[in-house]
Amino acid sequence: MATDTAYSSAAGDLRGPITPEGHTMVDLLTGVLPQIRSEAGDNDREGAFPVEVFGQFAKLGLMGATVPAALGGLGVHRLYDVAVALRRLAEADASTALALHVQLSRGLTLTYEWLHGPPPVRALAERLLRAMATGEAAICGALKDPPGVVTELTADGSGGWLLNGRKTLVSMAPIGTHFFVHAQRRDAGGQVLLTVPVVRRDAPGLTVAEHWDGLGMRASGTLDVSFHNCPVATDRILERGPAGARRDAVLAGQTVSSITMLGIYAGIAQAARDLAVEVCARRWSEPPSAVRTRVAEIDARLYALHAVTGTALLNADLLAADLTGDLDERGRAMMTPFQYAKMTVNQLAPAVVDDCLSLVGGQAYAGRHPLARLYRDVRAGGFMQPYSYVDGVEYLSGQALGSDRDNDYMSVRALRA
């Protein structure tokens, strides 16, 4: 066991968890995988969120997997392990993994707030983390304004705040009990401040849309959420400072929030590969040349995908635990390998899935075929922030060549609005 842990840890090939807590999480998850796998096709077709599965997750403590044990959670604290768990889950259903990712990464970032935030934030974080651990709280992030909309917080005149606007692409929304809404407000001088009110689902003026029709990730419960004069108390607001401040320190938190998603695309590619190899092995005793060549290249790319992801995760874990140096540098040192890995994964995972369709042939073009779902799901990777391919090129070339640039995409968005 020690050897197994050491081995997996050393190798960084994303095969298994590297902490006991990680093992616990993966073991618990494993029990639910058959159900998830069996529902994946139907949920994809219907665009239905697997509410019952998340009920299972809650019962098993998986909704609090990344909550510290001191607050009742499983205490998983390594990004690596979260990514391994999401990979396993995504092999069964990527949509479910995408939705659970929301909760798991929230646990990690809230733990940071609980440990390092100002006192009121610590208190808020503790309450939320405890509720996540019991399964009562499912906390969504609401980051993206639709074109033309600016979600804003304004003073209500009596010491509180009102939230107005709309957010799009909020995953796990069907069961979301709280929403971290990335909004902006203006200070007396008119400067744009980034702010994150935490809003309960039952807040007056909050509406969750009924349905989202996506190309893929259709069972991830990715919905619009709108706010109409939605009241928010001051002690439920996380302040993020002025837009345009160019503090690369924030890249650390953004890395923690998003890097484990790479495990999802690793899982999609793995599922496609396993399915295709199984079909090929069954179909041909003497596989044709192109089959042999593609299979070798698929496996080489899959290993590269795992290794680059695992290596970036181990790097992020190391730096996440180390607050001793320059925090801007730390932010970049976490984000840069993450972006290397993301760019690589977003090339390799779709390429693997595409080759798998070629190996399996025309039957994979049926709407209900698992590969047809994986072909649609895998394409989501390119759209995840931070960063899209276009922004990733700007960021990475800026790091290599030097550039005067705001690396905080939330800030850029706010100022563009």
Within positions 349 to 408, which residues make up the interface with a second copy, using CB under 8 A? 350, 354, 357-359, 361-369, 372, 375-376, 379-380, 382-383, 388-397, 399-402
Question: Which residue's CB is nearer to a second copy, number 3 or number 158?
Answer: 3
Please name the helix (run of DSSP H) or strand (run of DSSP E) that holds residue 181, with its range, or none.
Answer: strand 178-181
Show the binding pattern over residues 193-232: x = contacts a second copy (CB under 8 A), - = does not.
Answer: --------------------xxxx-x--------------
- Angle, helices 250-258/409-416, rounded to nearest 10 degrees: 100
Long-range pairs, 282-291, Cβ under 8 A, ≥24:
291/359
Stretch that binds a second copy, among 28-36, 192-200, 240-248, 314-322 (CB under 8 A): 314-322
The CA distance from 329 to 249, in Å, is: 7
The CA distance from 28 to 62, in Å, is: 8
Pairing of the two strands 161-170 and 183-186: unpaired
Q: Which of 318, 323, 326, 329 binds a second copy (CB under 8 A)?
A: 318
C-alpha distances out from residue 413 to 26, 58, 148, 406, Å = 36, 34, 12, 10
Show the binding pattern over residues 139-158: x = contacts a second copy (CB under 8 A), - = does not.
Answer: -----x--x-----------
All residues at 6 or more sequence positions from 409 whose CB lies less than 8 Å from its CB, including other chains: 254, 385, 386, 387, 391
The CA distance from 281 to 211, in Å, is: 40
Question: Which residue's CB is nearer to a second copy, number 39 or number 317?
Answer: 317
Q: Which of 310, 331, 370, 386 binds a second copy (CB under 8 A)?
A: 310
Q: Which of 23, 130, 306, 413 binds a second copy (CB under 8 A)?
A: 306
Three-state secondary-structure class, residue 269: helix
Question: According to the binding rule CB under 8 A, does residue 30 interact with a second copy?
Answer: no
Give the binding-site size for a second copy (rule: CB under 8 A). 89
Stretch that binds a second copy, among 24-32, 226-234, 251-259, 301-309 (CB under 8 A): 301-309
Stretch that binds a second copy, among 33-41, 128-136, 172-180, 309-317 (CB under 8 A): 309-317
Shortest distance (Å) from residue 388 CB to a second copy: 6
The CA distance from 377 to 114, in Å, is: 34
Q: Which of residues 61-90 bind a second copy (CB under 8 A)?
A: none
Closest C-alpha among 32, 164, 7 to residue 96: 32
Q: Which of residues 238-267 bind a second copy (CB under 8 A)?
A: none
Show the binding pattern over residues 152-191: x = contacts a second copy (CB under 8 A), - = does not.
Answer: -----------------x----------------------
| Amino acid in position 417 | A
